[in-house]
Amino acid sequence: MDLTPKELNNSQKKIDINGSSFFWDLENGTFQFESGDVMLFWIDSAFKVFLSTIEEITGEGTADLVFETAGYRTGLVVSDFYKNSVGDLAKSIDALPNIYITAGWGKTYIEADIEKKEAIITITNSWETKVKVSQNSERIGRFLPGHWAGVFTGLYDTNMWYNVIDDECDEKRLKIKVFESDITPSTNIRDLIKREEQNEIMKLEAMVENRTRELTDLIKEISSPVIPVTDNIVVIPLIGKYNELRSKDMLEHTLTALPAHHAQFVILDLTGIKSIDTTMIDMLNKLVSSARLFGMETLLVGISPEMSMEITKNQYCLGESTYFRNLKHAIYFAFAKEGMHIQEPK
């Protein structure tokens, strides 16, 4: 649409600034810049809230990537427009500063080296820098650097990326260098996903480690308690599978606790043991030997038929101990050796 002032009605307004046209159609509620529909935002209020909300929801790192990628893709749109409408690369680059300053994106100056496929873009009073100042943020905005990488990717017809070489918020100046690179927003997205996955894995590993530590501490606390039956008899129930670490902890706990009881008999209850191996045999032998050094006699109870077959098959030796089918028989035996017996109530 290219209406002359005479063709405009009372609800239509048109202004030309530096060769760029703004057009309002108040009756239909449209606003156009260079014949394309546009909208206006207050930078330090509405637009700042919009961008800050994205950062709040996604987190700063993800938000930077979102802005960077969005800027890059909009830059490709701009370059397509100029390649199709102007055609000449040098003329397109010369035309860019005027369109950006007219559109309110800041005063833009471009130093382009077409042969090297590089460019330095200096922007004063850019909307993104104003947003950062309004946010009291010292972090560099990512939309405009990504945008200019996208613009020159399209214009030079090769992949370009950027470095921010100057970002002076106090002076509201942004200086960006774009150059040929293998970096793309897609690469950065994949890297972000990998980082996020790694962070989640590390969190899970930390949770597992903490939970394992808690369970290990709990097992140490409840594993193989020394239970006094009488002044002369203590019972040590063994439960589950004993690896090298658990065997060591159990031995230390038991050998520390046993002397305090001054018992004559130590009953090792194996009812809770489903299988036996060399580690278990070694632990039992050390318990039997230690108890004997304390002047105590060891009684083993609760050996299942399956376990006895395993002991016989592997020719395991459990040392000098007396064996009983269950805890009741062992206690009866210990009472008898002490000259006592259990009398059933009449």
Q: Which of 154, 159, 124, 127 is nearest to 141 (CA)?
A: 127
Confidence class for position 171, pLDDT limits 50, 70, 90: low
Q: Which of 46, 1, 53, 48 is nearest to 22 (CA)?
A: 1
Whole-number Å distance between alpha carbons of 202 and 198: 6
Range of weakest confidence among 161-165, 182-186, 333-337 = 182-186
What number is the average pLDDT over the span 310-329? 84
* HEC assignment per residue over the chain: CCCCHHHCCCCEEEEEECCEEEEEECCCCEEEECCEECCCCCHHHHHHHHHHHHHHHHCHHHHHHHHHHHHHHHHHHHHHHHHHHCCCHHHHHHHHHHHHHHCCCCEEEEEEECCCCEEEEEEECCHHHHHHHHCCCCCCCCHHHHHHHHHHHHHHCCCEEEEEEEEECCCCEEEEEEEECCCCHHHHHHHHHHHHHHHHHHHHHHHHHHHHHHHHHHHHHHCCCCEECCCCEEEEEEECCCCHHHHHHHHHHHHHHHHHHCCCEEEEEEEECCCCCHHHHHHHHHHHHHHHHCCCEEEEECCCHHHHHHHHHHCCCCCCCEEECCHHHHHHHHHHHCCCCCCCCC
Count how many residues are written for the chain: 346
What number is the average pLDDT over the span 196-201? 68
Q: Which amino acid, one-letter code, is at 96?
A: L
pLDDT value at 30 more than 70 = yes
Note the pLDDT of residue 179: 94
* Domains identified in the chain and CATH numbers: 5-37 (no CATH), 43-183 (3.30.1380.20), 224-337 (3.30.750.24)
pLDDT value at 139 more than 90 = no
pLDDT value at 5 more than 60 = no
- Tokens representing 158 are 């090769």
Note the pLDDT of residue 251: 85
Instruction: Spell out a b/e string for 67-105, using b for 16 or more CB atoms within 10 Å of the CB, else e.
Output: bbbbbbeebbebbeebeeeeeeeeebbeebbebbbbbeb
CA angle at residue 49 from 46 to 55, to 5 degrees? 150
What number is the average pLDDT over the span 259-272? 88
Confidence class for position 220, pLDDT limits 50, 70, 90: low
Contact 84, 90 (CB under 8 A): no
pLDDT value at 149 more than 90 = yes
**Tens of pLDDT, residues 242-265:** 888 888 888 888 888 888 888 899
**Tens of pLDDT, residues 42-82:** 888 888 898 889 888 888 888 888 899 999 999 999 999 88
What are the backbone angles phi and psi of residue 301, rounded to the nearest 5°? -130, 160
What number is the average pLDDT over the span 117-127? 93
Residue 238's Cβ-count burial label (10 Å; 0-12, 13-18, 19+) is: buried
Residue 3: left (phi > 0), alpha (psi -120 to 50), or beta?
beta
Q: Which of 238, 246, 240, 230 is nearest to 300 (CA)?
A: 238
- Tokens representing 4 are 């002359």
Whole-number Å distance between alpha carbons of 176 and 147: 11
Confidence class for position 193, pLDDT limits 50, 70, 90: low
Note the pLDDT of residue 8: 66
